[in-house]
């Protein structure tokens, strides 16, 4: 292989690897943090709807009376409504009429 072909081959190979691995990466927020609230095997999942989630992102803290009890795992949009999936610590009991 000539001296000129080696850098070109490395560049093309590097771009191919970056393209293939980067397609499934949704940013640093998609990497779960160890030890977070609502992350255990017995945590339960809730889906809530909001009209306004301006600064809400995955891994945001879920709080009850300023105490962190869980985390946001996913946010999707359905029309003008945001559907937010939360995981909450199992010892937290939320009434059926809970609002945010």
Q: Does 4 have pLDDT greater than 70?
A: no
Residue 9 domain-assigned? yes
Residue 54 domain-assigned? yes
More confident residue, 39 or 88: 88
Other beta carbons within 10 angstroms of residue 75's beta carbon come to 15
pLDDT at 94: 86
Class of residue 43 by CB neighbours under 10 A (exposed 0-12, middle 13-18, buried 19+): buried
Residue 98 domain-assigned? no
**pTM of the full structure:** 0.61
Residue 96 domain-assigned? no
Q: Does 79 have pLDDT greater than 80?
A: yes
pLDDT at 46: 92
CA nearest to 100, candidates 80, 87, 84: 84
Residue 43 domain-assigned? yes
Q: Does 6 have pLDDT greater than 80?
A: no
pLDDT, tens only, 28-57 = 666 655 556 677 778 899 999 999 888 899
- The three state secondary structure string of the chain is CCCCHHHHHHHHHHHHHHHHHHCCCCCHHHCCCCCCCCCCCCCEEEEEEECCCCCCCCCCEEEECCEEEEEEEEEEEECCEEEEEEEECCCCCCCCCCCC
pLDDT at 95: 86
Residue 35 domain-assigned? yes
Number of domains forming the structure of the chain: 1
Residue 99 domain-assigned? no
Q: Which structural domain range is residue 81 located in? A: 5-88
Other beta carbons within 10 angstroms of residue 47's beta carbon come to 11
Residue 80 domain-assigned? yes
């Amino acid at each position: 292989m000539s001296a000129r072909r080696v850098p070109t081959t490395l560049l093309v190979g590097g771009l191919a690897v970056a393209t293939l691995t980067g397609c499934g990466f949704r940013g640093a927020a998609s990497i779960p943090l160890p030890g977070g609230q609502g992350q255990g095997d017995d945590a339960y999942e809730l889906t809530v709807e909001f009209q306004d989630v301006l600064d809400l992102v995955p891994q945001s803290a879920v709080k009850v009376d300023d105490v962190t009890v869980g985390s946001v795992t996913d946010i999707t949009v359905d029309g003008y409504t945001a559907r937010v999936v939360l995981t909450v610590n199992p010892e937290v009991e939320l009434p059926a009429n809970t609002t945010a």
